[in-house]
Amino acid sequence: MSQKAEKSVSKELKILTRPVVTIDAAIRDDKKMSILAVVNGLNEVSERGLVSCLYILKTEKGKDVGYPFQVVGKVVNSRELLEDVRILLYLGLLEVTGGRKLRLTSMGKEVLEKLGSEWGEKLEELSKAVEEVKQRVLSEESLFSMMSSAERRRRRR
Protein backbone atom coordinates (compact mmCIF):
# COMPACT_ATOMS: atom_id res chain seq x y z
CA MET A 1 0.00 0.00 0.00
CA SER A 2 1.34 3.42 -0.87
CA GLN A 3 1.89 6.24 1.60
CA LYS A 4 -0.76 8.39 -0.07
CA ALA A 5 -3.51 5.91 0.74
CA GLU A 6 -2.48 5.75 4.40
CA LYS A 7 -2.79 9.51 4.99
CA SER A 8 -6.11 10.58 6.39
CA VAL A 9 -7.52 14.05 6.61
CA SER A 10 -8.98 15.05 9.92
CA LYS A 11 -11.18 18.00 10.54
CA GLU A 12 -10.70 19.58 13.90
CA LEU A 13 -12.69 22.37 15.43
CA LYS A 14 -10.39 25.08 16.69
CA ILE A 15 -11.79 27.33 19.36
CA LEU A 16 -10.18 30.71 19.80
CA THR A 17 -10.85 32.63 22.97
CA ARG A 18 -11.11 36.38 22.95
CA PRO A 19 -11.15 38.49 26.07
CA VAL A 20 -14.45 40.19 26.77
CA VAL A 21 -14.21 43.90 27.37
CA THR A 22 -16.59 45.31 29.94
CA ILE A 23 -17.30 48.89 30.90
CA ASP A 24 -15.55 48.31 34.23
CA ALA A 25 -12.42 47.09 32.42
CA ALA A 26 -12.54 50.11 30.11
CA ILE A 27 -12.88 52.48 33.08
CA ARG A 28 -9.73 50.99 34.62
CA ASP A 29 -7.82 51.54 31.35
CA ASP A 30 -6.28 55.02 31.38
CA LYS A 31 -5.78 55.04 27.62
CA LYS A 32 -9.46 54.43 26.86
CA MET A 33 -10.52 57.06 29.36
CA SER A 34 -8.08 59.50 27.75
CA ILE A 35 -9.86 58.92 24.44
CA LEU A 36 -13.17 59.82 26.10
CA ALA A 37 -11.65 62.98 27.60
CA VAL A 38 -10.20 64.09 24.25
CA VAL A 39 -13.44 63.42 22.35
CA ASN A 40 -15.31 65.32 25.05
CA GLY A 41 -12.94 68.27 24.65
CA LEU A 42 -13.37 68.30 20.87
CA ASN A 43 -17.18 67.72 21.04
CA GLU A 44 -17.28 65.85 17.71
CA VAL A 45 -14.27 64.57 15.82
CA SER A 46 -13.51 62.08 13.06
CA GLU A 47 -11.25 59.11 13.74
CA ARG A 48 -8.55 60.78 11.65
CA GLY A 49 -8.91 63.98 13.69
CA LEU A 50 -8.69 62.03 16.95
CA VAL A 51 -5.48 60.31 15.81
CA SER A 52 -4.08 63.66 14.72
CA CYS A 53 -5.01 65.31 18.03
CA LEU A 54 -3.39 62.62 20.17
CA TYR A 55 -0.29 62.70 17.96
CA ILE A 56 0.00 66.49 18.34
CA LEU A 57 -0.50 66.18 22.10
CA LYS A 58 2.28 63.60 22.27
CA THR A 59 4.82 65.29 20.01
CA GLU A 60 4.24 68.98 20.68
CA LYS A 61 2.63 69.22 24.13
CA GLY A 62 4.39 66.32 25.87
CA LYS A 63 1.08 64.67 26.83
CA ASP A 64 1.71 61.03 25.94
CA VAL A 65 -1.44 58.96 26.42
CA GLY A 66 0.43 55.76 25.59
CA TYR A 67 -0.40 54.98 21.96
CA PRO A 68 2.28 54.22 19.37
CA PHE A 69 1.96 56.16 16.11
CA GLN A 70 3.16 55.40 12.60
CA VAL A 71 3.77 58.27 10.19
CA VAL A 72 3.80 57.56 6.47
CA GLY A 73 4.33 60.71 4.48
CA LYS A 74 2.04 63.19 6.20
CA VAL A 75 -0.49 60.58 7.32
CA VAL A 76 -0.44 59.62 11.00
CA ASN A 77 -1.99 56.33 12.10
CA SER A 78 -2.30 54.25 15.23
CA ARG A 79 -3.75 50.78 15.01
CA GLU A 80 -4.00 50.37 18.77
CA LEU A 81 -5.85 53.67 19.14
CA LEU A 82 -8.41 52.77 16.47
CA GLU A 83 -8.92 49.37 18.11
CA ASP A 84 -9.69 51.08 21.42
CA VAL A 85 -12.12 53.41 19.64
CA ARG A 86 -13.94 50.32 18.29
CA ILE A 87 -14.13 48.93 21.83
CA LEU A 88 -15.58 52.20 23.16
CA LEU A 89 -18.13 52.19 20.33
CA TYR A 90 -19.04 48.58 21.16
CA LEU A 91 -19.49 49.43 24.84
CA GLY A 92 -21.75 52.35 23.99
CA LEU A 93 -19.50 55.04 25.45
CA LEU A 94 -18.92 56.61 22.02
CA GLU A 95 -21.23 56.90 19.04
CA VAL A 96 -20.87 57.83 15.39
CA THR A 97 -22.95 60.73 14.11
CA GLY A 98 -24.46 61.01 10.65
CA GLY A 99 -21.39 62.91 9.50
CA ARG A 100 -19.15 59.98 10.54
CA LYS A 101 -17.82 61.80 13.57
CA LEU A 102 -17.28 60.42 17.05
CA ARG A 103 -18.98 61.88 20.08
CA LEU A 104 -19.69 60.83 23.64
CA THR A 105 -22.96 59.13 24.46
CA SER A 106 -24.83 60.04 27.63
CA MET A 107 -23.33 56.95 29.27
CA GLY A 108 -19.86 58.08 28.15
CA LYS A 109 -20.45 61.49 29.73
CA GLU A 110 -21.57 59.84 32.98
CA VAL A 111 -18.46 57.65 33.07
CA LEU A 112 -16.25 60.69 32.43
CA GLU A 113 -17.98 62.67 35.21
CA LYS A 114 -17.48 59.81 37.69
CA LEU A 115 -13.88 59.55 36.58
CA GLY A 116 -13.36 63.28 37.12
CA SER A 117 -13.21 62.80 40.88
CA GLU A 118 -10.55 60.06 40.56
CA TRP A 119 -8.48 61.61 37.79
CA GLY A 120 -8.86 65.21 38.88
CA GLU A 121 -5.62 66.96 37.97
CA LYS A 122 -4.64 64.56 35.17
CA LEU A 123 -8.00 65.05 33.43
CA GLU A 124 -7.77 68.82 33.81
CA GLU A 125 -4.26 68.93 32.28
CA LEU A 126 -5.38 66.80 29.34
CA SER A 127 -8.46 68.99 28.80
CA LYS A 128 -6.31 72.16 28.77
CA ALA A 129 -3.90 70.63 26.25
CA VAL A 130 -6.82 69.57 24.02
CA GLU A 131 -8.26 73.08 24.19
CA GLU A 132 -4.91 74.48 23.01
CA VAL A 133 -4.82 72.29 19.88
CA LYS A 134 -8.57 72.09 19.24
CA GLN A 135 -8.77 74.74 16.51
CA ARG A 136 -5.79 73.30 14.67
CA VAL A 137 -7.19 69.76 14.71
CA LEU A 138 -10.67 70.84 13.63
CA SER A 139 -9.29 73.00 10.80
CA GLU A 140 -7.07 70.13 9.56
CA GLU A 141 -10.10 67.86 9.74
CA SER A 142 -12.30 70.22 7.70
CA LEU A 143 -9.52 70.71 5.14
CA PHE A 144 -9.18 66.95 4.72
CA SER A 145 -12.94 66.49 4.33
CA MET A 146 -13.05 69.22 1.65
CA MET A 147 -10.15 67.60 -0.18
CA SER A 148 -11.70 64.14 -0.03
CA SER A 149 -15.11 65.41 -1.22
CA ALA A 150 -13.42 67.19 -4.14
CA GLU A 151 -11.60 63.97 -4.97
CA ARG A 152 -14.88 62.00 -4.91
CA ARG A 153 -16.50 64.55 -7.27
CA ARG A 154 -13.52 64.33 -9.62
CA ARG A 155 -13.79 60.52 -9.73
CA ARG A 156 -17.50 60.65 -10.60
CA ARG A 157 -16.82 62.68 -13.74
pTM of this structure: 0.78
Please give the domain boundaries of the chain with CATH numbers for all domains: 21-145 (1.10.10)
Query: Per-block average pLDDT, block size 10, for the chain (157 residues)?
Result: 60 75 87 92 90 92 90 89 94 90 93 79 84 85 72 66
Contacts of 65 (CB under 8 A, 6+ apart): 30, 31, 34, 35, 38, 54, 57, 58, 126
pLDDT value for 57: 92
Tell how far CA 59 is from the center of its chain.
Answer: 18
pLDDT of residue 73: 87
Say how far residue 22 (Cα) sits from the centre of its chain.
17
pLDDT of residue 112: 87
Q: ∠ CA 131-140-115 to the nearest 5 degrees? A: 35
